[in-house]
A and B are shown apart, each in its own frame.
Chain A
Amino acid sequence: MTTSTPLSRRLILQAGAATAALGAPGLLLAQPRPVKIGLVHPVSGGLAYSGSQSRMGAQMAIDEVNAAGGIRSMGGARLEALNGDSQSRPEVGVSEVERMQQEGVSAYLGCFASGIALPATQAAAKYNTPFLIDVGASDLIVSRGLKNVFRLKPGFGACVDDAMVALGEINRAAGGIAKTAVIVHEESEFGTGTAKLLGSKLPGVNIQPLETIKHANPTRDFSNVALRIKGLKPDLVIMSNYQNEYVLLARTLHQQKVDVAAMFSVLGGGFNYKLVQEQPDIALNMMDFNHWYNPKSAKATALRKAVEAKGGLFTFEVYMSYSAVMLYADALQRAGSADKEKAIAALESSTWSDHILPYGPTKFVNGQNQGGKGVLLQATRTDIDVVWPNQFASAKAVFPRPKFS
């Protein structure tokens, strides 16, 4: 004979509470810990625009990885951004690294400016935490023997080398009309380092540098610089500066009707869709050797549309940061852990090839990816075309540019 006890409401509640109390820790244990990525970008100060663009690109990649189920080999661990702001100042960049270390960061991403990246990577090296350089041109970043630093993009050394090849080819095709150049650069590590390399490499493509002009950040007026360039009558003006000074200098040279075969830049900070949109007359026919997405990649085109749908511009900071996060996600997937040693080993042996950039498979030598390449770009009134190398080109270079007269 069996007796049945009616289930009272109290009993059901008690059973439910007991289940919740016993089950919850189990459920919590089943959730893998998120992998924290410290974003050390300048989202305020003089470099705020570029920093914000970088942050947006990194966040888009993090969202994409999470939406696809996180890092599968880590039980679906999600990526989590720790947002930092270097305020465009090296010492603040370092303090952000220290703060994020306290918050359990697994890897850093940054820093846009070489001057910030140099001390920030050094601070991260103390904790042997991987540091992925999304943007930061100086080759010093990867030549100090720091095992934790990885740069996907080529540095200014490789960019200047490739830019010289591109310039040499285009100049030869035009009958070698460009024989002289004036270099104008900003005064920090990025501009100074690039200008030094340009000065030594230009003679190799039969172009003699006439003068190298350094300017401060910020510079409020470029009239005197334009005056000096006019007096020197170079065939090329080669610029290496950040966003604001790039635009002011380009505008002044345009206003002063400085006739040259090309206004050319290497990693030009202000050469982007924004320049084309806001100053189409000035942007027209300007050339820049820079990082760019692969215009033939469907994934890159989709990402551009997603950025533009948000009302943003698809500038190089966006896809460089996006790509750096994807590189780290691939390393985590192969390492199966966010352990710093294992992640560094996975990055060192990376052969990641799912790029939206015109890159070959990743191969790191002393933290520098050997498979990355920049492209030569030229602005039209409404868009930016890739004009070199031919396999990615979407238009033919206009060289020399039409004269003002």
Chain B
Amino acid sequence: MDATILASAAINGLLLGGIYTLVASGLTLIYGVLHIINFAHGSMLMLAMFGVFYLLTLLGIDPYLSLLIMVPAMFVLGYVLYKGLIGRLSSGKDENILLVTLGLSILIENLALMFFKGDSRTIQVSYSDRMVELGSTLVPLPKLISFVVAMVICIALGLFMRRTDIGRAIRAVAKERVGARLVGIDVERIYAISYGIGLATLGAAACLLMPIFYVSPTIGHVFVLVAFTVVVLGGMGSFLGAVIGGLIIGLTESFGGLFLGESLGQIGISLIFILILLFRPSGLFGARQ
């Protein structure tokens, strides 16, 4: 096969992987700290994407500028949601949280269907069709921006976790809940902050996705399975794992499509999911049990 086509497929895969990384990083944080699988992740992404859509169509705010609104807004939503609902209903049991987030996702999706209708919507901004030449490949500018910003956010998130007091507290809670409480960390607050940060990353992902994708009440389903695969591949709770896992899945999808066709090519993602569960259930960078 022509080297140019292979190079283009690699670039497309990496760019796609950047978005997967961002969607998965929130999921991995929520799992790493709260030890819950957040079934509401997809519906929260959908909610954020509708937020970006309406910020542009009603107020004329550019999707990238919306980062300044959507990231804090989603953080607050996550914080309040955990404090007011998830934390209270869970009664400290992980399986309860799982059911609460599942119920939440069904509720949000159906409310979205009622208010936004089943319609899918797209936006057009002045730079939608602007292209950048990477070697012999033409790459849409919004895709390139998405990739770069996604990587910057992931690095910033990694630094936040390592260098700040809250980051250290989050890691402490993730590792040893009782010990963290004994040294004076407000564990409930850290849970709420973690859930908030998890949703804030979705706010960012939504701003980066809207210029290149569409939004509908069921859009979460399009990304959530991939996000879970990325988290399983990278290792539950690992940021580096989310980055590497996202890029691997992006490349797998791209090359799978190229060699097996766009229909059959997507089995690559499911195959990785099964293989990782079989041979390395803790993922590439996950802590071994």
A contact set with B: CB distance below 8 Å = 43-52, 187, 213-216, 218-225, 227-228, 231, 243-244, 247-248, 251, 254-257, 274, 278-281
Q: List residues of chain A with CB within 8 A of the CB of B213.
A: 220, 248
> Which residues on the B side are within 8 Å of A48 (C-beta)?
113, 117-119, 216-218
CA–CA, A254 to B140, complex, Å?
11
Q: How far is the CA of A247 from the CA of B212 in the complex (A)?
A: 11
Other contacts beyond A224-B262, A225-B257: 15, CB < 8 A:
A48-B217, A48-B218, A214-B261, A218-B222, A220-B16, A220-B253, A223-B16, A224-B12, A243-B120, A244-B216, A247-B214, A248-B214, A255-B138, A257-B131, A279-B124
Complex A-B: 14 CB contacts under 8 Å: A44-B110, A44-B113, A46-B218, A49-B216, A214-B262, A219-B266, A220-B223, A220-B253, A221-B257, A247-B214, A248-B213, A251-B122, A255-B140, A278-B121
B277 located at the interface, meaning its Cβ lies under 8 Å from any Cβ of chain A in the complex: no
Q: Is the interface of A mostly helix, strand, loop or mixed?
A: helix
| B61 adjacent to chain A (CB < 8 Å) | no
B68 interfacial by beta-carbon distance below 8 Å: no
Min distance, Cβ B1 to any Cβ of chain A, angstroms:
10
Asked if B129 and A254 make an inter-chain contact with CB atoms under 8 angstroms apart, the answer reads yes
- The chain A residue sitting closest to B119, CB to CB, is A49
Q: Are B117 and A231 interface neighbours, CB within 8 A? A: no
Residues of A within 8 A of B138 (CB): 255-257
User: Are A215 and B262 closer than 8 Å at their CB atoms?
Assistant: yes
Q: How many residues of chain B have a CB within 8 Å of chain A?
A: 39
Complex CA gap A222/B16 in Å reads 11
Q: Do B217 and A244 touch (CB < 8 A)?
A: no
Q: Are A221 and B254 in contact (CB under 8 A)?
A: yes
Q: Does B263 contact A (CB under 8 A)?
A: yes
* Shortest CB distance A339–B (Å): 35
Compute the total of residue contacts between A and B using a CB distance below 8 Å: 108
Q: How long is the Cα–Cα vector from A49 to B117 in the complex, in angstroms?
A: 7
B123 at the interface (CB under 8 A from A): yes
Report yes or no: B118 in contact with A51, Cβ–Cβ below 8 A: yes
Expressed in whole angstroms, the minimum distance between the Cβ of A47 and any Cβ of chain B is 8
B256 and chain A: residue at smallest CB distance: A224
A49: contacting residue among B16, B118, B123, CB under 8 A: B118
Distance A75 CA – B141 CA, assembled complex (angstroms): 65
With beta carbons under 8 angstroms apart, the residue of B119, B217, B266 that contacts A216 is: B266
Instruction: Give me the interface of B with A, judged by CB distance under 8 Å.
Output: 2, 5, 8-9, 12, 16, 110, 113, 117-124, 128-129, 131, 138, 140, 213-214, 216-218, 221-223, 226, 253-254, 257-258, 261-263, 265-266
B214–A227 CB distance below 8 A = no
Looking at the assembled complex, report how far the CB atom of B256 sits from the nearest CB atom of chain A, in whole angstroms. 9
Complex contact A281–B129 (CB within 8 A): yes
Complex Cα distance, B62 from A260, in Å, reads 32
Tell me which residues across on chain A come within 8 A of B122, comparing CB atoms: 247, 251, 278-279
In the assembly, what is the distance between CA of A251 and CA of B217, in Å? 21
- Rounded to whole angstroms, the CA-CA distance of A248 and B216 in the bound complex is 13
Q: A44-B113, A221-B254, A255-B129 are in contact. Are A52 and B263 (CB under 8 A)?
A: no
Check B258–A224 contact: CB distance below 8 A.
yes
Q: Tell me, rounded to whole Å, the shortest Cβ–Cβ distance linking A52 to chain B.
A: 5
Contact (Cβ within 8 A) A49 B120: yes
- Among A45, A219, A231, A274, contact of B218 (Cβ-Cβ < 8 Å): A45
Determine the distance from Cα of A188 to Cα of B119 in the docked complex, in whole angstroms: 21
What's the nearest-Cβ distance from chain A to residue B274, in Å?
18
A216 touches B262 (CB 8 A): yes
Q: When the two chains form their complex, are residues B9 and A227 in contact, meaning their CB atoms are under 8 A apart?
A: yes
Say yes or no: A214-B120 contact (C-beta < 8 A), given A48-B218, A247-B214: no
Q: How far is the CB of B2 from chain A (nearest CB, A)?
A: 8
